[in-house]
Structure formats: structure tokens, C-alpha cells
Amino acid sequence: MKGRYFKQQERQVLEDIIQHRRTELGKNFLNQEIPETVLNRLIGAALAAPSVGFSQPWEFVIIRDLSIREQIKDCFEVENEKAKKIFRTKPSYDQFKLEGITNTPVNLAIFYKPSSNPILGQTSMDKSGPYSVCLAVENLWLMARAENIGVCWVSILDEEQVKQILNAPVENELVAYLCLGYVKEFTDRPQLELANWERRKSQESLIYYDSYQGNSSQ
Amino acid sequence: MKGRYFKQQERQVLEDIIQHRRTELGKNFLNQEIPETVLNRLIGAALAAPSVGFSQPWEFVIIRDLSIREQIKDCFEVENEKAKKIFRTKPSYDQFKLEGITNTPVNLAIFYKPSSNPILGQTSMDKSGPYSVCLAVENLWLMARAENIGVCWVSILDEEQVKQILNAPVENELVAYLCLGYVKEFTDRPQLELANWERRKSQESLIYYDSYQGNSSQ
């Protein structure tokens, strides 16, 4: 085989990073700056993600300005009030912070930028454009974990309001809004699992062979 | 900090895997089986991905049956004829294989399974459901690279036809269709870059500070 050959020991490092990666819900962030060189390394990891047609359809807004983050937080509060009504039968919803917008040093808004020209590989499934941006998000997230930086994915936001606050071009789509910061702790298991909000699904229940017809996990 | 602490040497391994990961367009696959234990490790990596609300909204169909893969390939051929018309002014489109459906040992159809109950964090941005599945795809892709396995992402497909061939539940959404196999070569740069189909964008051109207003890369 031509190209870099990876060995078992290296696979084990990746496995460790993947298994120890966590979603930080927002409570565990420390008041500690992220050096610019580290942030650039995270973005560099994102930019090496696969993108259908090598379209690289991603744009990143690095937000440190507190007044802008306070506007985003206002947007979260409005949306979270709506969410509380949806979960009124599950009062434990209130225990979660679910954002780290102003108690992290850096927020990152990651957008999908559609192309005005046709893109190779995107002519039949146009969702593969924004999906490519998600792959970049995961690269960044894993590199953040390797840098011992926690990530909070804030999705309780009104996309149009966020675009307005950030003066985003009308055609751009917000894919992910992340809060990044060093943390007190990476928990052993996901915080929503520890809180008994959701259970981990078994691998067997999620795998089918050849088709959905018949049994899973033959 | 509580939890696993990662060191520079370990970050470097992740960086290497991320930077050496490639999209295999389909020509370089070898006729060599993927052991079941290795395939399980790839799926295990996918299952450790973040998902908004710890919803784990993913399902995997592992396809080895050749007759099913031939039906998928027929679907690709029809869609690719449409694509050729779209790219008729760029005849170099014809040089690319763009799929490895029947010349790999394993295909993997990865679906988003919507929940019938509200999901924490998905009440305002419902795309965060399928986006979570993409994060799982990238985990799997990186672990494949660490296993020295190539990945071809086939997106020139009609989603409804693929669902029909695989007897997928009507509510499921096809997020990614991957062909997996050992390869002759991992190229130094993306195959579409080497073929001068697309150029790599500069990091500076993709980053904005605080908002889109004003200059990028301050």
C-alpha cells in the first residue's frame, strides 16, 4: 500500500480520543483563554474533513466579542423557554444548563455556504453539502478533545436570528454553534446518560444486514 | 482537570490521521475482505459520536449481498447519466469513477431515524438530528483511515430508490452511502485536487471574526 500506514498503537490513540470525547452541557467550563495557535489547530482539523466534490463549503465565525455573545444568549433564552413548555412533563429538564455562550472564551458559528455552480457529487443529494460541514465539525470536536478542550453544541437557537446577529449572508445556513473552553472535568459517560435523561442504545439494535427486511443483528 | 488528559504526542497521532484521511473515488480498491472485528470497531467509533440530546438517531445497514449492491449500482448509473449532462461543459467529469459499490467488500448505508418524541436540544433546530448522524460518519471514516481502509462516499443516488431497495422505514432519511475497502494507495492530496477539479481554499478566506461585517481574517 502506498501512503501513510497506521499501526495498532495509533489506532488505539484515536479510539481513546473518540471514546473520551464528551458533550459539555455548560456547567464545567473554566475561566481560561484558548491560545490562538490552539484554536487555529482546531480549525485546521476541520478544514481537512471530507467534502462531497471537494467543495469545502464551510465558513467559520470566531466570536469573542461579549456583546455579540450576549445577543446570542438572549436568543437561546427565548428558545429555551419554548423548549421548557415542550418538556413540562419532564421537570428534570430545568437542571441542565445547555449552553456555555458567555462562560467560555470562544464561540464558533459554523456555516454551510451553498455554491452557485453545480458541485460534483451533489447533483442528486444536495444535503451532502451541509452534511460535509458536519464532518468538519466532528474533526474539530475530536481535536478539541485531544487538546483537552470541552465543546458545548448549542442548538436551542433560532437560526434566522443568529444569522442576523452575525450579519451572515442570506444564502448561508447555520450548521452548528459551538462554545469552546477548558473544563473542570470530562465525565466518564455522557452527562445526559449520567442524569438518566436518555439511555445508551445497544450496537445490536442499530445494525441491519443487507436490508431492513428480516431481523437485525443476524 | 478530571478525566483522561491527552498529551502532545497523542494529538499528533490524531492530526496525522485527520490529515492523511482521503476520499477514495473508487479506482484504488483491492479485492480483500474486511474482518468482522474490524468492521465492528468502525461502527463502535460511529456510535461514540456526539448526538444532540444523546438521541443516537442512527441506523446502519451493512451490505455485502452482491445482488443488492448491483441494484444500488444501477441507481448510481441512472443518476450519474443525469450528472454528466449537468457537467457537459467539463468533459473531465468522465475520468472519475465516483463509486466503489461492487468492487469493495462492504457497503454501508447510514440512516437518520427520527424520534416520535421531542428530543432535548432539537426543539428549535431540527436539522441537528440528521447532523448528529454525520458526526458518526466522520468518526467511522477516521477509524477506517486508522485501519488503513479507504472510504468512498457515494452521493450520486436517488434517496427514495435506495430506501426502497433496502426496505427502509418510510420515516428514515439516508444520510450517507459508503463503500469500504482496503486500497492500493492513499494519495498525498485529495484526488479531485490532484486532478485540478477543485482547488483547496485558504484558511484565511473561510474565517470571520465576531461577525461577517467587516473584513475576514483580521
Contact A165 B135 (CB under 8 A): no
Least CA distance to B209: which residue of chain A? A62
Contact B143 A14 (CB under 8 A): yes
% of chain A beyond a pLDDT of 70? 98
pLDDT in tens, A119-134: 999 999 999 999 999 9
Give the position of cell 497506521. A6
CB A150 within 8 A of CB A180: yes
Residue B218 binned pLDDT confidence (cut-offs 50, 70, 90) = very low
Contact A17 B14 (CB under 8 A): yes
pLDDT in tens, B149-183: 999 999 999 999 999 999 999 999 999 999 999 99
pLDDT in tens, B26-51: 999 999 999 999 999 999 999 999 99
Lowest mean pLDDT across A209-218, B88-97, B168-177, B207-216: A209-218
Report chain B residues whose CB lies below 8 A from the CB of A100. Answer: none
Strands annotated E in B117-189: 149-153, 173-182
CB B35 within 8 A of CB A218: no
pLDDT at B134 over 50: yes
Report chain B residues whose CB lies below 8 A from the CB of A42. Answer: none
Give the position of cell 449572508. A169
B60 forms bridges with which residues in the sheet?
A207, B110
Least CA distance to B50: which residue of chain A? A23
User: What's the CA gap between B110 and B62, in Å, rounded?
Assistant: 9
For residue A97, what pLDDT is reported?
96
DSSP calls for A91-159: GGGGG-----SSSSSEEEEEEE---SS--TT-SS-TTHHHHHHHHHHHHHHHHHHHTTEEEEE---S-H
Q: What is the longest distance spanned by two Cα atoms in chain A?
A: 57
Contact A123 B82 (CB under 8 A): yes
Contact A207 B128 (CB under 8 A): no
Average pLDDT, chain B: 96
For residue A215, what pLDDT is reported?
55
Q: How far is CA A114 from CA A58, A211, B106, B212, in A?
A: 9, 33, 31, 16
pLDDT at A44 over 70: yes
CB-nearest partner of B183 from A1, A22, A142: A1
Domains of chain A (ranges, CATH numbers) = 29-186 (3.40.109.10)
For residue B185, what pLDDT is reported?
98
- Average pLDDT estimate for A46-70: 98
Contact B186 A3 (CB under 8 A): yes
Contact A21 B174 (CB under 8 A): no
Contact A125 B157 (CB under 8 A): yes
% of chain B beyond a pLDDT of 90? 97
Cell matching residue B68? 443488492
Residue A218 binned pLDDT confidence (cut-offs 50, 70, 90) = very low
Q: How many CB pairs under 8 A join A and B?
A: 339
Contact A2 B185 (CB under 8 A): yes
Residue of B18, B28, B179, B213 to mutate for A, most A C-beta atoms under 10 A: B18
For residue A214, what pLDDT is reported?
58
- Complex-level ipTM: 0.97
CB-nearest partner of A156 from B3, B83, B123: B123
- Average pLDDT estimate for B88-116: 97
Least CA distance to A62: which residue of chain B? B209
Contact A147 B11 (CB under 8 A): yes
Least CA distance to B65: which residue of chain A? A210
CA of B92 vs chain A CAs: smallest distance (Å): 11
Least CA distance to A79: which residue of chain B? B124
Residue of B153, B154, B155 to mutate for A, most A C-beta atoms under 10 A: B155
